[in-house]
Amino acid sequence: MEEEKQFKPFISASDFIPEFTLRSIILGAIFGVIFGAASVYLGLKVGLTVSASIPIAVLAISVFKKLGKASILESNIVQTIGSAGESVASGVVFTIPALLFLSGGKDYFHYFQIFVLALAGGILGVLFMIPLRRSLIVKEHGKLPYPEGTACADVLVAGEKGGKLAQKVYYGVGIAFLYKLLMSILGFWKDVPSYVFGKNSALPNATLSGEITPELLGVGYIIGPRIAGIMVAGGVLSWFVLIPLITMLGSGLTSVFPPETTQLISQMSPDQIWGRYIRYIGAGAVTFGGLMTLIKTLPTIISAFRDSFKDLKESRNEKKVEKSRTEKDIPLIYVLVGSVALVVFMSLIPNIPTNFLSAIMIVVFGFFFVTVSSRIVGLIGSSSNPISGMTIATLMATSLIFVGIGWTGDVYQPIALVVGSIVCIASANAGATSQDLKTGYILGATPIKQQLGLIIGVLASTVAVGFTLTLLEHNIGIGSPTPEHPHPLPAPQATLMATVIKGLLSHNLPWGLVLTGMGISAVMELCGVSSLAFAVGAYLPLSSTTPIFAGGVVKWLVERKSKASEVESDIGPGALFSSGLIAGGAITGIIIAILIGMNMGTGADGKPVSLADKLNTGIGESMGAWGDLVSLGFFVLLAFILYRYGISKQKGSAVS
């Protein structure tokens, strides 16, 4: 509570400036539709989405400068509403396309069903974050960094103040844009340099790789060396211990090892071993880490609910409880009524594969993983939030309950997926919501207005997400190639979800791998290390955690040089430049997604050619092993630029 009293937001609670205005609502909804549609395509194409809060904040500042001066809280409402599009889209594309791969699921893959599932999950994520706001955002301020939420506040403050503070952010945006333009669009160097140890080496199939993007480097700088180090340690365990171990033990097998059904381990690449075995281990680790997170968070959750119920009781007794502007949330009664209404709605609505039991499970699992997701992004950011791991855990629990009561037929597969889909969407949106509320807390926004804005953002984005998903399925195809769609979008995450459901309901899930992952997380907890960050690193590809670790190392070098750590209330030049790297990298990622989708005809091989393909020179790929060294050299140069900004003279506090 002392931390809460000492903290002073950028805009005082006693100041009332324009915030929830019509222009901010309209602009936020437009951005939500645009970023939601782009995220659907990107998620189906590569199984990843790009965090939208920061690029939307940058765009809001720029648009409002053209429209006339706007307050910083108006810009915050724009990014709050707009960010819902990306988060809802990521939850949708990771799960709902799995209906196409399940028995009877195609009957439910229509616009109306997609719209209903996305809407239910998105609103559930917002509602469940309301009672968690005080426990995670306010009481844990200074402990949970919420890197993207903090970076977004930095961007908005820099845009408000102008001058040299803004310059550092925009320098970061410009450098990140140029870097990704040369790397990802023009192809001057590789996106993911890697080195794979030979199968006859001491570490067969061990792989060192890095997705050398500016946004991941910036996230690593903001979260700092400790969390970044724990994350990459999990990745090292998977890629330098478990994969070589599985390769060595499986090299002498003459039959396939479940859950694989067709290919020998000796014939598998590192990526195949990771997809067939390590992901299940990682899912088990994330499940246990999530359970420990919930247990550790229970005291603050109970305290938050007790405070909310106390406020509700006092209001019923007509006691005037005067709250400051920055402490007003949507009343808890709406959270309770909304949850009950969701159970009834999902039980009765026609043409949706649900029943009363599955609706209850949606609410129970939804609250659990909303809590876990909100705390995860507080530690490592939305970009590294293992939503698919949480969804797998939900599908496991749901399917086990179904098996326990005898629901093992194919007809129950879509019902299990709907539970996982809504929980996935709720968790994804809750993670983004908590980042937005952190931004608002730093800036001095009104929570209830942000929460209403998030609901508006969900409503606007679900319209675009459902339309985009059905359009892509109809015109391009999703999943395996067919004569009608020879080059479909693969939807890797949704394919995994379908595999998990089929395996569980047919009693084929590799529980040994899942329990192994849980055991690894238990060992980390016994060693006094937060198992969740470690489990996230073990679940994600090593290529995602190594650049984050590099950013943490740069932060460590800056702290050693300056003899003082940068904290949220004293924004230094390194943090501002990192915010620009995250914003620039994310914006360019959206541009790349749009370029990929621009069909420019077919090539000599009959495959579709996009504008990105035409622009890509392929120089980096044609250089072989030297291409990896060149790529690494450019990434080191980018890290050095970040270091130089980090040690440059600080110009005072941005939030005081």
Write down the pLDDT at residue 531.
Answer: 85
pLDDT level of residue 566 (50, 70, 90 thresholds):
very low
CB 391 within 8 Å of CB 290 = no
Write down the pLDDT at residue 5.
Answer: 52
User: Across residues 56-80, what is the average pLDDT?
Assistant: 85
The pTM score is 0.73
653 occurs within a structural domain: no
pLDDT level of residue 421 (50, 70, 90 thresholds):
very high
598 occurs within a structural domain: yes
DSSP assignment of 117-177, as one string?
HHHHHHHHHHHHHTTTHIIIIITTTTT---HHHHHHHHHHHHHHH-HHHHHHHHHHHHHHH
39/27 Cα distance (integer angstroms): 18
157 occurs within a structural domain: yes
Show the tokens assigned to 412: 């129950």
629/14 Cα distance (integer angstroms): 55
655 occurs within a structural domain: no
Write down the pLDDT at residue 613.
Answer: 66
321/319 Cα distance (integer angstroms): 6
User: Percent of the chain beyond pLDDT 90?
Assistant: 21
Write down the pLDDT at residue 179.
Answer: 92
Cα dihedral angle (285, 286, 287, 291), rounded to 10 degrees? Answer: 110
45 occurs within a structural domain: yes
Residue 315 has pLDDT above 60, yes or no: no
Tally of domains in the chain: 1
> Residue 186 class from Cβ within 10 Å (0-12 exposed, 13-18 middle, 19+ buried)?
middle
613 occurs within a structural domain: yes
652 occurs within a structural domain: no
pLDDT level of residue 195 (50, 70, 90 thresholds):
confident
CB atoms within 10 A of CB 478: 23
> Residue 230 class from Cβ within 10 Å (0-12 exposed, 13-18 middle, 19+ buried)?
buried
User: Across residues 600-615, what is the average pLDDT?
Assistant: 63
Write down the pLDDT at residue 241.
Answer: 94
Name the 3-class secondary structure at 560. helix
Write down the pLDDT at residue 585.
Answer: 81
User: Percent of the chain beyond pLDDT 70?
Assistant: 84
CA distances from residue 636 to 118, 212, 561, 631 in whole angstroms, order as listed: 41, 9, 18, 9
Of 94-108, 268-282, 320-334, 562-576, the poorest mean pLDDT is in 562-576
Write down the pLDDT at residue 570.
Answer: 39
Tell the residue number behind the tokens 């004293």, with chain if given.
570
CB atoms within 10 A of CB 388: 27
Domain residues for 230? 2-647
pLDDT level of residue 304 (50, 70, 90 thresholds):
low
Cα dihedral angle (52, 54, 55, 59), rounded to 10 degrees? Answer: 120
Residue-wise pLDDT tens digits, 221-255: 887 888 889 989 999 999 999 999 999 998 888 88
Which element (helix H / strand E) includes 33?
A: helix 22-46
Residue-wise pLDDT tens digits, 460-476: 999 889 888 888 887 77
Residue-wise pLDDT tens digits, 428-453: 899 888 999 999 999 999 999 999 99
Residue 614 has pLDDT above 70, yes or no: no
Residue 381 has pLDDT above 80, yes or no: no
pLDDT level of residue 146 (50, 70, 90 thresholds):
confident
557 occurs within a structural domain: yes
User: Across residues 10-21, what is the average pLDDT?
Assistant: 86
Mean pLDDT score across all residues of the chain: 81
CA angle 218, 456, 47 (to 5 degrees): 45
Residue 24 has pLDDT above 90, yes or no: yes
Residue-wise pLDDT tens digits, 481-533: 777 766 677 777 787 788 778 878 877 778 889 899 999 999 999 998 878 88
